[in-house]
Amino acid sequence: MAALEVDDRGLLVTCASCGQKNRLAHERLEQATRCGRCKNLLSPPAAPLEAATSADFDRLVGHTSLPVVVDYWAPWCGPCRMVGPELEKVAVNMAGRLLVVKVNTDVLTDLGQRFGIRSIPTMAVFAGGKEIARTTGARPASEIEAFVRQALAKQPAAQ
Ligand SMILES: [Zn+2]
């Protein structure tokens, strides 16, 4: 799991080659980008991103060109701990096509309230800034990916 670093213009990623921070523009996140310093190819995130604030969540989910699966979780929740490694796999398998964002509902209580999260884990798919599907309960990576694909298939505008 990595920290979500985001601003109004894009997602901030660290170049694996030289350590330089680069911004991947929200509207072109699915395109290949090169590091501004060393020209190494930068990849979209292949790990779940933990949102630190609800403002960061909104900056990302409201603007990114990629669909997002949001995992509402809390550290004390046993099934959430089972979902964690599965979402790591999803983030790798669907890197460049999907972002995985984690929301700790103990910390970001306002997001839990805004989206009416009553049980965790809850996973929700966002496309174009809007929630398009939601499911609750732990499941393996293959089922999470199927859930995401089904949700996006129903969206004529997405993908
Ligand atoms: Zn670099």
Ligand 1 centroid–CA 34 distance in Å is: 8
Distance 131 CA to ligand 1 centre (A): 34
The share of the chain scoring above pLDDT 90, in percent, equals: 89
The catalytic residues are 77, 80
pTM more than 0.85: yes
Write out the DSSP string of 10-53.
Answer: EEEEE-TTT--EEEEEGGGTTS-EE-TTT-PEEPPP-S-EE-SS
Residue whose entry in the numeric block shows the structure tokens 């979500």: 4
- CA of residue 86 to ligand 1 center, whole Å: 29
How many Å lie between the centroid of ligand 1 and the Cα of residue 14? 8
Chain segment 40-53, per-residue pLDDT in tens: 999 889 999 999 99
Rounded to 5 degrees, φ, ψ at 134 are: -150, 145
Mean pLDDT of 85-96: 96
